[in-house]
Structure 1
Amino acid sequence: MSDALKIPRRKLADEVFDRLYAKLLNGEYAPGESLPSERELMELFGVGRPAIREATQALERLGLVSIQHGQRPKVIMPTASGVLSQIELTAMHMLSSSPQSLEHLKEARAFFEVGMVARAARMASDVDIATLEGLLEQQRAELNRDAQAFIKTDMAFHAAIAEITGNPIFAAVSRAMLDWLANFHASLLHWKGNEHLTLEEHERILSAIRVHDEALATNEMRAHLDRARRLYNLT
């Protein structure tokens, strides 16, 4: 038989992983509960301790369990932000090695931002608006003082708009895209010498959200992102 047709022999740890993962999916081990002890799992699956440890560590890397020294692994509730954090290194590699991927990410971010600001304008409460006002004041205070703090508050302003939508997946995706862009190249989020323009545009976006004008908020956010793309080839 050709080597290409042979079914590769799987590691015991992979088999253990698959079985534990299936138990997580069917709810046998619910979030907040602990997995059986290593000895119990060894007896359950008929394997040694190394296979159990390798399998549970793989579950931990996927954000499915938490392992503390001296304690049994505990099942945790997966979150959108946790899932996205698992692919951060892969995303950074993709962005650094593919200019086209970076352009796609910038386009995706703009698409999300415009859609989210419309929903935020519709849903924003007085507390949400006060949060945005506070972030804008923080950003204004960092003007010409601390560039990194200015960028951080800029990101927080956009992330807060995503939070207003009430959809944790929107918020997680927005934060991930901002983080990836910032980690790849901070200038993609910050336009040196044009901080005043950024603040003015944020103020206009906030004003539209304050009066719950979806169309105006959408136009202001699109103008904010288009200005950067047009003048600096950034989003």
Structure 2
Amino acid sequence: MDLKPIKTRKIYEEIVDQIRELVARGELKPGDKLPSERDLVERLQVSRASIREALSALEMMGLIEVRSGEGTFMRRLRSESVVAPLAWMLSIEKGTVTELLEVRKILEVHAAQLAAERAMPEDLRELAEALEDMRQETVTPELGGVADLRFHYAITRATKNTMLMLLMDSISDMMQQMLKTSREKLYKGKYTPDILYLEHVQIYEAIKSKDSVKASEFILEHLKGVEDELRRHI
């Protein structure tokens, strides 16, 4: 008899699942506007706090975008993106913010190790350029996280592993959306632009020194710290 333990689910998770199911059935499409918070409260018979938690999670997953003064809309993926169909499929399946962070740990910890072993001078230059942009953002914080994403993607390229690069391509849209949305939340907690920058400096120095053990340790510590902080807000 195949019996499984009963798991207690939070209300916002049920809301997220309902929205994802509507997307999967084609009842919600990119560009569609979601009902207002008040309307969702009345329809779902839940608290406004639960609705906001669900919307925050959906935004981090890259499924929705909030337009100031207009409302909340299903997100349009870039039509020119080769990996858009896969990214969209991953979004509407069982991807959550914490699951995406778990995937990043699986991929990036070993990627940092390989990068330390295989990085060429041009890879180190690319990492240094992304790092310099991050340093400038400590003066004028940019919530988009573009330099952050460039840094992590440069690590993947330095591995010289084509399959790993393709896997990173498939989640790059979601990573960019998560970085954009999570930055504001991170800055409200223990993380500041300076701390994020210094953590990336540690990773870079380890890769530059060809210390694969330290490189993987530093990036794991960084991703765990981000995950712990985001869990406090979701």
Shorter-chain TM-score tier? 0.5 to 0.7
Which letter does structure 2 place at the counterpart of 1:180? M
Q: 1:203 aligns with which of 186, 201, 204?
A: 201
Higher RCO structure, 1 or 2 (CA under 8 Å, sep 6+): 2
For structure 2, the residue ranges without an aligned partner over 5 or more in a row are 1-80
TM-score under structure 1 normalisation? 0.56
1:185 Cα deviation (Å)? Answer: 6.8
> Structure 1 residue 157 and structure 2 residue 155: aligned?
no
Match of 1:221 in 2: 219
Q: Is the 8 A contact 2:112 2:212 kept in 1?
A: yes
Match of 2:162 in 1: 168
TM-score under structure 2 normalisation? 0.56
- After TM superposition, list the pairs within 5 Å mapping 1:122-141 onto structure 2: 122-141=117-136
Q: Which stretches of structure 1, 4 residues or longer, exceed 4 Å deviation after superposition? A: none
Which letter does structure 1 place at the counterpart of 2:99? H
Match of 1:90 in 2: 89
Which letter does structure 1 place at the counterpart of 2:92? H
Which letter does structure 2 place at the counterpart of 1:156? R
SS in 2 for 1:139: helix
How many residues align structurally?
148
Q: Is the 8 A contact 2:109 2:219 kept in 1?
A: yes
Percent identity between the two aligned chains: 22
1:183 Cα deviation (Å)? Answer: 2.7
Q: 1:186 aligns with which of 176, 180, 190?
A: 180
Instruction: Name the CA shift for 1:176/1:146 in 2 (closer, same or farther; >3 Å).
Output: farther
1:146 Cα deviation (Å)? Answer: 4.8
RMSD of the TM alignment (CA)?
2.3
Structure index of larger Rg: 1
- Counterpart-to-counterpart distance in 1, 2:214 and 2:141: 31
1:93 Cα deviation (Å)? Answer: 2.4
Instruction: Name the CA shift for 1:185/1:225 in 2 (closer, same or farther; >3 Å).
Output: closer
Match of 2:111 in 1: 116
1:137 Cα deviation (Å)? Answer: 0.5
1:106 Cα deviation (Å)? Answer: 1.8
- Counterpart-to-counterpart distance in 2, 1:128 and 1:195: 24
